[in-house]
């Protein structure tokens, strides 16, 4: 028995709308993630200068704070542990005609923090405003 005599069979067709939606999403994704090489670098012509390198090195005052709390300024121990004694020693070492001398503090790892702060206060009272700390690279 053939019940579908009068009907013709419909051929299956592919629905293109979901495929177009997926392709549009892929195109948008590719447009957003694409980088353009023309923005990768800027060509800049920097100006040139014929100035000589400056040979003026700042005057350095080396202050060492030992683990026992002693203060040594330019390899000379400071007598007395008070701030005024350190101020006097810094003023004696700093040349009066030097422009902005730099105080370099070399503190032992086991030195008390208070001694380092005392040296910083003494440098401030002596009028030495440029302070730097020396460190050493960790050994591996």
Q: What is the pLDDT, as a whole number, of residue 91?
A: 87
Annotated domain spans of the chain: 60-133
pLDDT tens string, the chain, 140 residues long: the values are 556 666 667 788 888 999 999 999 999 999 888 876 555 555 656 666 666 666 677 788 999 988 888 899 988 888 877 899 999 998 888 887 777 888 988 888 888 888 889 999 999 998 888 888 887 766 65
Q: What is the pLDDT, as a whole number, of residue 20?
A: 94
Q: What is the pLDDT, as a whole number, of residue 68?
A: 87
CATH topology of domain 60-133: Nucleotidyltransferase; domain 5 (3.30.420)
Contacts of 129 (CB under 8 A, 6+ apart): 100, 123
Structure tokens belonging to residue 47:
């100006």
Contacts of 58 (CB under 8 A, 6+ apart): 98, 99, 100, 101, 102, 130
């Amino acid at each position: 028995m053939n019940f579908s005599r009068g009907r013709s069979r419909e051929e299956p067709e592919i629905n293109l709308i979901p495929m177009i939606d997926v392709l549009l999403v892929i195109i948008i994704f590719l447009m957003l993630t694409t980088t353009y090489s023309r923005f990768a670098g800027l060509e800049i012509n920097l100006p040139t200068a014929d100035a000589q390198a400056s040979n003026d090195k700042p005057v350095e005052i080396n202050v060492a704070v030992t683990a026992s709390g002693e203060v040594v300024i330019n390899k000379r121990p400071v007598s007395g542990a008070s701030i005024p004694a350190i101020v006097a020693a810094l003023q004696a070492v700093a040349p009066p005609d030097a422009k902005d001398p730099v105080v370099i503090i070399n503190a032992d790892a086991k030195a008390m923090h208070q001694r380092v702060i005392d040296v910083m206060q003494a440098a401030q009272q002596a009028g030495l405003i440029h302070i730097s700390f020396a460190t050493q690279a960790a050994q591996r």
